[in-house]
């Protein structure tokens, strides 16, 4: 039996679990909305329900329990996929040790840490944790005062696992807290990074984009594109050639494996952009996030890239370059259970 066919049922199980979790979440929220509208009461996931009050309350509890059980099963599937692939790549290593990832953002109030991955919701997570820790308020958030380099630097200095500089404290916070990693499809992340950094107006990335254009335009697959009018910005093809041929370690496109060390830092929860609505609700329940803080804990959960859009970007690349960029991020695909795109397999 081939390796692909061996693991096919697990992939299907994860997809089915995600679908069931989505439906359970919708049912759960509908129950809360109906009760809230009929009674004027705001029901949170942590509410203790008195089953003697009505059958409706019992139904709410059952829906909630079903949702949590489905999500726990989904987490087991994701961690099994991670462990299996980590074992393949690091067969001679102890991949189950749990040492702190000092880059993780940390909330002492809710006792959780999350790996800080750019283009995977890192800004939203940093803002939420700064508010949770009392450095800013919810009003500051809605007044758009949590943006800019100064806020980012302040966060790095104050809300990382390693911010205190005390190894014992860092280890204690790591061991006693819920450890979370939030990822997204590697190619979706690259398209997002390209649009944001290569086409944006950043004082740092705009010159880099121009330099990438200059250096890699000669490698463009279509000869006519090599002498096309210079826009001063890298094309997506230029950007991918840059990623394949350079050793640049920018955190906006560095691999998950390098940033988070998932094979060596034992994460408790693996969240994904593709199931962000369910995953965030699950975390809110597990961590008992207050209603006030739920308002700033990923308030926008809409996907900004989709498979069709991403495929459109990659369709302009040669098959050789498509395979090279896949090989660069292959471990991220495998460790976090992302399927190799079907269009990459076609001739």
Pairing label, strands 112-114, 178-183: parallel
Element (H, E) at 191: helix 186-193
Nearest to 43 by CA among 35, 51, 53, 52: 35
pLDDT tier at 299 (50, 70, 90 boundaries)?
A: confident
Give 123-147 pLDDT, tens digit per residue: 999 999 999 999 999 999 999 999 8
Residue spans of the domains in the chain: they are 3-89, 105-183+268-294, 187-253+316-342
Q: What is the pLDDT of residue 41?
A: 43
| Confidence (pLDDT) at 92 | 55
Backbone angles phi, psi at 107, to 5 degrees: -115, 115
Q: Which of 169, 172, 163, 96 is nearest to 133 (CA)?
A: 163
Residue range 175-186: average pLDDT?
95
pTM: 0.82
Place of tokens 């804990």: 297
pLDDT tops 60 at residue 46:
no
CA distance 83 to 328: 20
**105 vs 145, 163, 168, 182, 203, CA distance in Å?**
20, 9, 17, 12, 26
Indicate whether 3 pLDDT > 50. Answer: no
Q: What radius of gyration do the chain's Cα atoms show?
A: 22
């Amino acid at each position: 039996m081939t390796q692909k066919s061996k693991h096919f049922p697990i992939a299907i199980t994860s997809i089915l679990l995600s679908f069931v979790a989505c439906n359970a979440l919708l049912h759960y929220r509908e129950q809360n909305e109906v009760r809230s509208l009929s009674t004027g009461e705001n029901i949170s996931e942590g509410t203790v329900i008195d089953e003697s009050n009505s059958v409706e309350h019992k139904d709410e509890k059952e829906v909630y329990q079903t949702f949590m059980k489905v999500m726990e099963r989904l987490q087991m599937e994701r961690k099994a996929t991670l462990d299996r692939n980590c074992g393949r790549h690091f067969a001679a290593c102890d991949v189950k040790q749990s040492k702190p990832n000092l880059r993780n953002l940390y909330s002492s109030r809710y006792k959780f840490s999350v790996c800080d991955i750019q283009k995977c919701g890192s800004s939203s997570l940093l803002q939420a944790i700064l508010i949770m820790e009392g450095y800013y308020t919810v009003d500051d958030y809605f007044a758009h005062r949590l943006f800019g380099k100064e806020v980012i630097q302040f966060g790095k200095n104050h809300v990382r696992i390693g911010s205190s500089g005390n190894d014992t404290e860092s280890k204690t916070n790591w061991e006693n807290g819920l450890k979370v990693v939030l990822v997204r499809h590697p190619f979706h992340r690259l398209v997002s990074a390209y649009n944001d950094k290569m086409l944006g107006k950043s004082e740092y990335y705009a010159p880099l984009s121009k330099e990438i254009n200059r250096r890699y335009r000669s490698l463009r697959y279509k000869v006519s594109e090599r002498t096309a009018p210079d826009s001063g910005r890298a094309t997506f093809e230029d950007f991918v050639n840059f990623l394949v041929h350079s050793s640049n370690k920018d955190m906006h496109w560095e691999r998950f494996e390098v940033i988070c060390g998932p094979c060596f830092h034992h994460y408790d929860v693996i969240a994904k952009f593709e199931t962000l609505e369910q995953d965030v609700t699950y975390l809110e329940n597990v961590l008992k996030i207050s209603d006030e803080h739920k308002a700033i804990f990923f308030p926008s959960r809409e996907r900004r890239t989709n498979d069709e859009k991403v495929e459109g970007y990659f369709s302009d690349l040669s098959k050789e370059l498509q395979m090279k960029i896949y090989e660069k991020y292959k471990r991220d695909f495998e460790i976090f259970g992302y399927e190799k795109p079907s269009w990459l397999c076609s001739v």
